[in-house]
Amino acid sequence: MTGDVDMRAPLSLLPLCLDEVRFEVGSRRIIQGISIKLEAGLRTVILGPNGAGKSVLLRLCHGLLVPTSGTVRWYSPELPGAPRRQAMVFQRPVLLRRTVLQNVTYALKLAGMRRAWREQCALEALARVGLESLADHAARVLSGGEQQRLALARVWALRPEVLFLDEPTASLDPGATHEIERIITALHEAGTKIVLVTHNLGQAHRLADEILFLHQGELAERASADRFFKHPTSPEAASFLEGELPW
């Protein structure tokens, strides 16, 4: 598994290109013509006030929603029915009524891993997030922070090329948030492309390499994190930063 070059490895999913993507529900325009290209490597943080369309944009990228018009195109798309090469962590983790370990092995089974390897791989992933001692516990009775760590262990075991996170720490305390951010950073360092939605400026500051600032369904600004926080060019971003300060 490690070190070997797999000659059959598929081409990279990235870059991801969105072309004039719109999303409407009835007459409500939630995403209004967004065109972006997401490259490998950088941690992309999608920032914006509530109702800006951040979560919807994330779901459009991940394929959970289909755009009303426009295209979402991966460089080398996943094949239908094949194991997924991208994953998503939700604001509220959805866990099955099984043990902690079984929640991870379930995901590995869907990813097509052989039964004999699943448990070992799952235990390694649980160790990464500090949950190995709870492997035999029921997943649904864990604390909020532990549940989110389990969701990340599930991702870790899958080793996705791209990971989408939708406000993963929105309902967690600072301690749990810190732990989740540590795991996200570790995933990034292991080579997973991170795309994170948040409205928490502190978090964006800590995790972002580049910022996509969304306002009312439109991409108001895209900049490196440094530049965005020091010199936002769009008035929307500037007022958002002002309103939210200090972090």
Which stretches of the chain bind another protein, using CB under 8 A? Answer: 59, 62, 64, 81, 83-84, 87-88, 90, 94, 96-98, 106-107, 110-111, 138-141, 154
Shortest Cβ 141–another protein spacing (Å): 4
Strands 44-47, 193-198: pairing is: parallel
From residue 16, alpha-carbon distances to 85, 97, 113, 196 in Å are 13, 34, 26, 15
Q: Looking at beta carbons only, is 197 or 219 nearer to another protein? A: 197
Shortest CB 123 distance to another protein, Å? 19
- In angstroms, what is the minimal distance from the CB of 166 to another protein? 9
Residue 134 CA to residue 153 CA, distance in Å, equals 12
Query: Could you tell me the smallest distance in angstroms from the CB atom of residue 107 to another protein?
Result: 5
DSSP string, 45-70: EEE--TTSSHHHHHHHHHTSS--SEE
The two three-digit tokens of residue 78, written as one number: 């996943």
- Tokens 């990228």 sit on residue: 61
Strand 86-89 to strand 28-38: parallel, antiparallel, or no bridges (unpaired)?
A: unpaired
Nearer to another protein, 31 or 155 (CB): 155
Nearest to another protein of 167, 218 (CB atom) = 167
Output the smallest distance, CB 128 to another protein, in A. 18
Give the number of other Cβ atoms within 10 Å of residue 115's Cβ.
9
Place of tokens 């600072």: 174
In the complex with another protein, which residue's Cβ is closer, 110 or 190?
A: 110
Dist. CA 215–CA 232, nearest whole Å:
14
CB of 4 to another protein, least distance (A): 24
> In terms of CB distance, is 84 or 188 closer to another protein?
84
Residue 80 or 243: the one with the smaller Cβ distance to another protein is 80
